[in-house]
Chain A
């Protein structure tokens, strides 16, 4: 098992290395470089005549005169050793300052969405499979098709409308106005959770529908296995048979798609965030592209892919623990 974990960890490092190179290439793509944009931003409209020499000086100040591989080294080195993602050109402060809060809020949304998806999908799917052909089973099937068909942002708008008109509460943003600037407290945390519910429901909606279908199908498969009949023939109580044998295996496809779910949540988050007015990373990523604020864009891209890769790693390891056949095959 240790060997399997080390192998996967090595894989993670290699993936991150290639990802960081790709991100760096993307950061270099816009025409001109940081010095050009810095000079333009700083002196335009001030009447100062910027010479080629001035730009050259700025370039030297920022180390931009070095070859690309050295600049990549500086950038990634700063991130690894000092957790320094560089300077934001649009905000005129460090990238860390710009991203900071949004990073934690994005992670909070991600975490809430995943928990909500799995808490709903797994028990519902298992129930539907055990009560196959019951009214509940058919109702859930209809629901899950609906879930797949309804676009996210539409659901977000709907929930926004419902909560404002019926519950008279603001779901937009992450905090109610009175907590916006307040220091962290239990009340503020509860307020945050209250605001996370709607985005979590919106983002969990289609994933839940999808997972219900996969888990239900796997569960039906597992229920027909001879090993389940054999366990019943041993006189094990039915609830224990169901939990220990088919359920345990029906969870595997969920675990193996955690990375996929994270990926999907990150892609859907910006639209949902836009509708709900959430200050998260995806929205900032789009803004930073528009501003050509490439250090910010790079940092966000790197972080989002890092989470996906790490979640994939976790899901691989968890799966190996759940299914002893996996680590033996490859180990």
Chain B
């Protein structure tokens, strides 16, 4: 595996058992995350952004089925074989080590992400004590995922003490820009403002020094000025801690600010993926072109009206052929409605699924 890659997702396909039968809202999904870089996933609500990223840590509801053929390769570094997360049983120890330890996640609703009956500090310390080894442990520096450390060795170098975890929590709150961190650490979520709660949520996620942070619409519920502050903070922490980020949003404007690479999702498939500049300046897929035109520009606010026409079909009425064809202004009859377009590498690292680019 390319040492610069952290995660390589191949042919991800997720189905759900529902009362009306099996639906497959995520299919033909391929994406890669480079070390210390940000992948922005953009798409309308219901396009499968959350499902396709939660699959990375098997954080899916019980009725979900991930195709066993799908591969989720996690690069453990130092020349070892990549770990296929999809082969790990959902409740296994390895998965739990990955969750929070290597792959951390923050969500759209900072208030709902915290339990109201425990302090912020309690929830940070819980993560720290689950994953971090005491700083005087020689194991602390090495990644423990997928490597087999003998039980006796583990007992010797215990996880951090309560006291140490608390000081890590205070330090983490300080680093995410919360003033009076030593007081805030003992406060309950409802005592913090919305922006501060999202900062605290970032503190929980990053307190374990994960390799990657999955941010699932982290700023959607916040107002614009606070949103800008949080984006700035995430960038700062990314360089400071050297982690990768998956940034999920339905807002192309936000993606343009944070991402190094962009993946555009439509109806459970990534229809276009490539370096940020390439996707924004030279979009290939008609859907990408549509949503880029929908970003309001200062010189042309009316342009928003030009958004993609038509409605997204429901999960039970997935179109045959190209999923976008019912709404596509450039569809080729007898092709687009019959055949599913393969992935085409148009220029290096710039992929598209569309018959116009054969």
Check if A231 is an interface residue, CB within 8 A of chain B.
yes
B129 nearest in chain A by CB position = A236
Do B99 and A225 touch (CB < 8 A)?
A: no
* Residues of A with C-beta under 8 A to B113: 226-227, 230
Residues of B with C-beta under 8 A to A233: 57, 59, 99-100, 104-105
Which residues does chain B contribute within 8 Å of A244, judged by CB atoms?
Answer: 115, 118
Contact A325 B116 (CB under 8 A): yes
User: Mostly helix, strand, loop or mixed at chain A's interface?
Assistant: helix
Name which of B90-98, B223-231, B267-275, B305-313 contacts chain A: B90-98
Of all chain A residues, which has the CB nearest B96?
A235
Which residue of B59, B114, B118 contacts A232 across the interface (Cβ within 8 Å)? B59
CB-defined contacts of A234 to chain B, threshold 8 Å: 99-100, 104, 126-127, 130, 204, 208
Note all chain A residues with C-beta closer than 8 A to B96. 235-237
The reply to whether the CB of B34 lies closer than 8 angstroms to some CB of chain A is no
Nearest CB in chain B: distance from A255 CB, A: 13
Q: Indicate with 1 or 0, residue by residue over B81-123, a CB within 8 angstroms of chain A CB atoms.
A: 0000000000100011111110011010100111111100001
Q: Please determine whether B59 and A227 come into contact, CB atoms closer than 8 angstroms.
A: no
CB neighbours of B13 from chain A (8 A):
none
The smallest beta-carbon distance between A36 and chain B, in angstroms, is: 59
A296-331 to B contact mask, C-beta < 8 Å, 1/0: 000000000000000000000000001111001000
A231 contacts which chain B residues (CB < 8 A)? 115, 123, 126
B97 to chain A: which residues have CB within 8 Å? 235
- Find out whether the CB atom of B112 lies under 8 angstroms from the CB atom of A325: no
* Residues of B contacting A238 in the complex (Cβ-Cβ under 8 angstroms): 91
User: In whole angstroms, how far apart are the Cα atoms of A7 and B73 in the complex?
Assistant: 59
Near B by CB (< 8 A), chain A positions 223-272 give 225-227, 229-238, 244-245, 248-249
Query: Please, how many angstroms separate the alpha-carbon atoms of A238 and B101 in the complex?
Result: 16
**CB < 8 Å neighbour of B115 from A232, A245, A328:** A245
The reply to whether A230 and B107 contact each other, CB–CB distance below 8 Å, is yes
Contacting pair A226 B109 (CB below 8 A): yes
- A268 CB, min distance to chain B CBs, angstroms: 33
Distance in angstroms between the alpha carbons of A251 and B118 in the assembled complex: 15
Residues of chain A within 8 A of B201, CB atoms compared: 230
> Which residue of chain B has its CB nearest to the CB of A321?
B117
Q: Name, among A231, A238, A328, the residue most crowded by chain B CB atoms within 10 Å (CB to CB).
A: A231
B346 interface residue, CB < 8 Å from A? no
A244 to B208, CA, bound (A): 20
Nearest-CB distance from A94 to chain B (Å)?
Answer: 49
CA distance A244 to B178 in the complex (A): 26
| In the complex, B190 has a CB within 8 A of chain A | yes
CB <8 Å contact, A232 and B188: no
Residues of the A chain whose Cβ atoms lie less than 8 Å from the Cβ of B104: 233-234
Closest to A237 in B: B96
Give the complex CA separation of A249 and B117 in angstroms: 8
Complex: A179 Cα to B201 Cα, angstroms: 63
A170 to chain B, nearest CB (A): 47
In whole angstroms, what is the CA distance A248 to B101 when docked?
25
Give the most central of B113, B115, B130: most A CB within 10 Å.
B115
Given A233-B59, A234-B204, does the pair A227, B112 have CB atoms closer than 8 Å?
A: yes
Is B131 interfacial (CB 8 A cutoff)?
yes
Q: Which A residues are in CB contact (< 8 Å) with B131?
A: 235
In the complex, per-residue mask of B289-302: 1 if CB is within 8 Å of any chain A CB, else 0: 00000000000000
Contacts A229-B59, A323-B117 given: A235-B112 contact, CB under 8 Å?
no
Please determine whether A229 and B107 come into contact, CB atoms closer than 8 angstroms. Answer: yes
| Chain B residues in 8 Å Cβ range of A236 | 96, 100, 126-127, 130
Give the chain B neighbours of A229 by CB distance below 8 A: 59, 107
Q: Which residues of B are in contact with A by a Cβ distance under 8 Å?
A: 57, 59, 91, 95-101, 104-105, 107, 109, 112-118, 123, 126-127, 130-131, 188, 190-191, 201, 204, 208
Beyond A226-B107, A323-B116, A324-B117, list 6 extra A-B contacts (CB 8 Å). Answer: A225-B112, A231-B115, A233-B59, A235-B130, A238-B91, A325-B190
23 contacts between A and B (CB under 8 A): A226-B109, A226-B113, A227-B114, A230-B113, A230-B201, A230-B204, A231-B115, A232-B59, A233-B99, A234-B99, A234-B104, A234-B126, A234-B130, A235-B97, A235-B100, A235-B127, A235-B130, A236-B96, A238-B91, A249-B115, A324-B116, A325-B190, A328-B190
